[in-house]
Amino acid sequence: MPINLFEYEELAKKQLSQMAFDYYSSGAWDELTLRDNRVAFERMKLKPRVLIDVSDRNLSTSILGQSLQSPLLTAPMAFQCLAHEEGEIATARAAKKAGVGMTLSTMSTKSIEEVATQGNYSDINSSSNNSNNTPRWFQLYIHKDRDLTSNLVKRAYAAGYNALCLTVDAPVLGQRERDRRNEFTLPAGLNLANLASISDLEIPTEHGESGLLLYFAQQLDPAITWKDLAWLRSLSPLPLIVKGILRGDDALRAVEYGAKAIIVSNHGGRQLDGAIASFDALPEVITAVDGQVPILVDGGIRRGVDILKALALGASGVLIGRPILWGLAVGGEAGVTHVLDILRNELSVAMALCGCSRIQDIDLSLVR
């Protein structure tokens, strides 16, 4: 049994095909940002408090009015059935069991409705009291076909998702050379589950190229601007979260255009190589927004102590990406559950060693 997330990655590499592992693990170009996402957490040092009663620790919190047993959500990750036949459904069940949130990708291999039903979320928006439900968010890419995009939003709302998470750092797809070398495409039997009932869209194939890159070029809209946020907000009552912010001025602009939360993210190092690490970008965004909306962060989180560092800088929570896929590949739902348990237990220990009995006790004085 793996005892940390790094061991899960090593086991997952043995379970997955070369194409699947490279798709999940790769970054853009020379993968500088991919590596720096991890190193950024290692650079930050802690200044623990001592002689504080930490015998009873409470990791619970809330984001956008939704309760979490620990300040975690799973990040939106495409094509999870490459890792396990239950894919996003297994991830949803594990997240629900752990009391953490999940973000479903537009590019998922299980549909909006399937994931909502399996997670018992299909009746949330019709309920008069949903405060005890953990978050279920839907991540959106805006397609050139605006009717298709509108349909996705309306389906997510009807299925009981709690928020719409717009990814804004991918007007075009980053150059992922491992995918290009592997000529990445979905194997037979897998498809874009959220798009199958709307269109015959598939991941295209072309010799010497990544099928995902071709899909983005053909289908996603590189012309979206800030004004499109108003259009998205008009499609449903769901709060809008903007994911992919690395600058304070962009964060402030997102709030001005109606974002209810911001995710500081460089897309796991998969878009612009050389971009600042998400963790390094966090302080500027926190300062600019000045408490107006919750700020979350993803990218490079592999230990519970990393979560503590992000919270110390002012984040309300974190999103976990690749380690969820490693857990899924190794053990399906049980593997994801174990990954989340490892992070929760490590965060609890880190809190105790820093003199924090509650999430609210974690502050800037703990880091240098």
**What are the catalytic residues?**
267
Q: Is 65 annotated as a binding residue?
A: no
Ordered DSSP codes for 21-87: HHHHH--STT-HHHHHHHHHHHH--B----S---SS-B--EEETTEEESSSEEEPP-S-GGGT-TTH
Q: Is 141 annotated as a binding residue?
A: yes
Q: Tell how strand 61-63 and strand 66-68 pair up.
A: antiparallel
Q: Is 322 annotated as a binding residue?
A: yes
Q: Is 77 annotated as a binding residue?
A: yes
By CB atoms closer than 10 A (0-12, 13-18, 19+), residue 189 is: exposed
Q: Is 332 annotated as a binding residue?
A: no
Where helices occur in the chain by DSSP H, the ranges are: 5-15, 18-25, 32-43, 87-98, 112-118, 146-158, 177-182, 211-219, 228-234, 248-256, 278-289, 304-313, 322-353
Q: Is 93 annotated as a binding residue?
A: no
Q: Is 78 annotated as a binding residue?
A: yes
Q: Is 358 annotated as a binding residue?
A: no
Q: Is 123 annotated as a binding residue?
A: no
Q: Is 92 annotated as a binding residue?
A: no
Half-sphere exposure of 20 (CA within 13 A, CB side): 20
Q: Is 176 annotated as a binding residue?
A: yes
How many Å apart are CA 187 and CA 128, to the nearest integer?
A: 42
Q: Is the dihedral of CA 11, 22, 139, 199 positive or negative?
A: negative
Q: Is 45 annotated as a binding residue?
A: no
**In which residue are the tokens 């990040």 written?**
75
Q: Is 24 annotated as a binding residue?
A: no
**In which residue are the tokens 């800037």 written?**
364
Q: Is 143 annotated as a binding residue?
A: no
Contact 74, 317 (CB under 8 A): no
Q: Is 265 annotated as a binding residue?
A: yes
Contacting residues for 176 by C-beta, under 8 A, at least 6 apart: 23, 26, 27, 28, 210, 213, 270
Dihedrals φ, ψ of 98, to 5°? -80, -10
Q: Is 300 annotated as a binding residue?
A: yes
Question: Which residues sit in the known binding site for FMN?
Answer: 76-78, 105, 139, 243, 265, 298-302, 321-322
Question: Which residues sit in the known binding site for glyoxylate?
Answer: 23, 141, 167, 176, 267, 270
Question: Which residues sit in the known binding site?
Answer: 23, 76-78, 105, 139, 141, 167, 176, 243, 265, 267, 270, 298-302, 321-322
